[in-house]
Amino acid sequence: MQKILIEGGHPLNGKVRISGAKNSAVALLPAAILADSAVTIEGLPNISDVETLSDLLEEIGGTVSRQDNNITIDPANMVAMPLPNGKVKKLRASYYFMGAMLGKFGKAVIGLPGGCFLGPRPIDQHIKGFEALGATVTNEQGAIYLRAEELRGARIYLDVVSVGATINIMLAAVRAKGKTVIENAAKEPEIIDVATLLSNMGAKIKGVGTDVIRIEGVPSLEGCTHTIIPDRIEAGTYAIAAAAQGEEVIIDNVIPQHIESLIAKLREMGVTVEDGDEQLLIRPGKTFKSVDIKTLVYPGFPTDLQQPFTSLLTKAEQTGVVTDTIYSARLKHIDELRRMNAIIKVEGGSVIVSGPSQLEGAKVKASDLRAGAALIVAGLMANGVTEITGVDHIDRGYEQITEKLSELGARIWREEMTDEEIIQLQNS
C-alpha cells in the first residue's frame, strides 16, 4: 500500500494531457457485453476501475486484450455468470453489469455496488426502470437478482435525474422489444458517449443529451471501435490545481464546453482562463475573489469537482459557500482540510470557507476519490510536506496523477507505507 507525499509551494507550469473519461469508461466496458462480436475502446484511462471491470468481463467469459490505452473485448464466450460478491463491491459502476447482462441474457445476479461513500446512494431508479421493461428484480442477501422472459419497451419517468439509472436503462432497453422512452433523463456527456458506442453497435437511440431519450430495441448488436471522450472531471481537477498553484498551465485534450460551469467560477474568482478547441490555458492572478458554488446535474457545477474546488477556496479573500445538492454528505475532506489549517465549517448543509488562509502540510487521509483530489490540491499549496493515505481511492480515477503533476513542476512522489502505518490507516 502506498501513500502520496507533496512538498507544497512549487509553481506549476507547462502542459498536462487529460486521459479518457472514467465515468464513460466504466459504462463503455460493460456495454460491450451487449455485442455479438468484438468491441474495441480506444483511449481508456489506466485506472484501477478499468482494471476491475476488465477482470469482471473476464469472469463472465469475455476475452479482454489490452494494448496501451486500448482494450478489445470479445464477448463471444460470455455467459450469465452470477457476480454476487468479490470485485463488484470495489466500485460503483459494476451496477452497469445489471443492465448489460439483462439486455443480453435476460438475467443477471450482481452484488450491490461499492464506490465512493458519499452518503446514501440508492439504485431504486435503476430497478424501477428494469421492472418497467418487464424484469423481476429481487434483493437476496445483498445481491440483486434480475430475470425477464422478454424485455419489452416502456415509458419510464425517472423520479431523480440519475446518470447511472439513465445509462443502465439504456443498456437494457437497446435489446428490448419495441420502444422505450426515458423521461427526466440525465444529460451528462458520458451518457452521450455511451449512446454513441451503442449506436455504432447498431442500437437505435434518439434524444441523448436532452431529458427525453427514445430507444427502439433491436434483436442484436455488433462489435465496433469507439474512442472515448476526455475526462472532464480530471480536466477540471487540473484546472483547479493550476488556479491554486500554477503560473501558466495548458490543459490539453479537454472539451471546454464540458466544464463551462467550472470555467465560469474560475473567471469569477479572477483566474484567467483561455479556451481553445481542445485546450484550456489557466493563469491565476495574485489574489482570488471568493465565490459560492452549488452543485447541480449537468450542465450545472459537477459534484465531482466540489471537493477540489473547496481546497482552492481556502486561497480566496473572504467567505465562499459550497452547497452540494447531489450528495449533501460529500464532506469527508473537510476535517482533513481543517488539519491543514483551513478555516472551514459546515452549517445548514453547506460548507463555509473563510480565507485566505495559508495551508500547512499535515498527515491526512483520502476517504474517497475526490476527497483525495482535494487533498492533493491542498498539498500543492501548503507549506511543508503533506502526506496522503487512502491512495487506492485516488487511483480509481486519476491516471498517473503523481507523474502528471511532477511534469508540471510539483514535488510529489509515492512511498510504500510501513506495516504500522497500514494498521493505523485500517483502524482510523
Ligand X SMILES: C=C(OP(=O)(O)O)C(=O)O
Ligand Y SMILES: CC(=O)N[C@H]1[C@@H](OP(=O)(O)OP(=O)(O)OC[C@H]2O[C@@H](n3ccc(=O)[nH]c3=O)[C@H](O)[C@@H]2O)O[C@H](CO)[C@@H](O)[C@@H]1O
CB 22 within 8 A of CB 49: yes
- Closest residue by Cα to residue 269 from 249, 291, 248, 286: 291
Task: Identify what 122 binds: ligand X, ligand Y, none; CB under 5 to 8 Å per kind.
Answer: ligand Y
Residue (160 or 212) nearer to ligand Y, CB: 160
Minimum CB–partner distance for residue 176 and ligand X (Å): 26
Site string for ligand Y, 149-178 (x = CB under 6 A): -----------x-xxxx-------------
What are the distances in angstroms from CA 410 to CA 137, 239, 305?
50, 14, 21
Please tell me the count of residues contacting ligand X according to CB under 6 A.
Answer: 10
- What are the φ and ψ backbone dihedral angles of 220, each rounded to 5 degrees? -150, 160
Residue (123 or 133) nearer to ligand Y, CB: 123
**Nearest residue to ligand X, using CB?**
115
Q: Does 195 bind ligand Y (CB under 6 A)?
A: no
What are the distances in angstroms from CA 216 to CA 34, 158, 179?
15, 19, 5
Task: Identify what 397 binds: ligand Y, ligand X, none; CB under 5 to 8 Å per kind.
Answer: ligand X
- What are the φ and ψ backbone dihedral angles of 290, each rounded to 5 degrees? -70, 150
CB 202 within 8 A of CB 196: no
Task: Identify what 75 binds: ligand Y, ligand X, none; CB under 5 to 8 Å per kind.
Answer: none
The dihedral built from the CA positions of residue 171, 173, 174 and 177, taken in this order, carries a sign that is positive
Residue (166 or 290) nearer to ligand Y, CB: 166
- Residues 90-109 touching ligand X, rule: CB under 6 A, are 91-93
- DSSP state string for 101-134: HHHHHSEEEEEPP-----S----HHHHHHHHHTT
Task: Identify what 329 binds: ligand X, ligand Y, none; CB under 5 to 8 Å per kind.
Answer: none
Minimum CB–partner distance for residue 343 and ligand X (Å): 25
Minimum CB–partner distance for residue 386 and ligand X (Å): 21
3-class secondary structure, 194: helix
Minimum CB–partner distance for residue 258 and ligand Y (Å): 13
Helix (H) or strand (E) holding 415, with range, is strand 411-416
116 is catalytic: yes
Cα 221–Cα 223–Cα 224 angle in degrees, nearest 5: 120
Decide the pairing of beta strands 143-147 and 246-252: unpaired
Please tell me the count of residues contacting ligand Y according to CB under 6 A.
Answer: 20
Q: Does 116 bind ligand X (CB under 6 A)?
A: yes
Q: Does 115 bind ligand X (CB under 6 A)?
A: yes
- Closest residue by Cα to residue 192 from 211, 173, 176, 175: 211
Query: Which of 332, 370, 393, 404: binder of ligand X (CB under 6 A)?
Result: 370
CB 142 within 8 A of CB 177: no
Task: Identify what 125 binds: ligand Y, ligand X, none; CB under 5 to 8 Å per kind.
Answer: ligand Y
- Residues 279-318 touching ligand X, rule: CB under 6 A, are 304
Residue written as grid cell 499549496? 381
Question: Considering only 86-94, 142-150, 213-221, 379-387, which stretch makes contact with ligand X by CB under 6 A?
Answer: 86-94
Task: Please identify which of the residues 116, 239, 340, 408 carries the catalytic annotation.
Answer: 116
Residue (128 or 414) nearer to ligand Y, CB: 128
- Kindly give, in sequence order, each residue whose CB lies less than 8 Å from that of residue 124, ignoring residues fewer than 6 positions away: none
Q: Does 187 bind ligand Y (CB under 6 A)?
A: no
Q: Does 394 bind ligand X (CB under 6 A)?
A: no
- Residues 121-150 touching ligand X, rule: CB under 6 A, are none
294-323: buried (b, 16+ CB within 10 Å) or exposed (e) per residue?
A: ebbbbeebbbbbbbbbbbbbbbbeeebbbb
Which residues make up each annotated binding site for UDP-N-acetyl-alpha-D-glucosamine? Answer: 92, 121-125, 304, 326
- DSSP state string for 125-143: HHHHHHHHTT-EEEEETTE
- Residues of this chain that interact with ligand X (CB under 6 A) are 22, 91-93, 115-116, 304, 369-370, 397
Residues assigned a catalytic role = 116
- Residues of this chain that interact with ligand Y (CB under 6 A) are 23, 26, 92-93, 121-126, 160, 162-165, 186, 303-304, 326-327
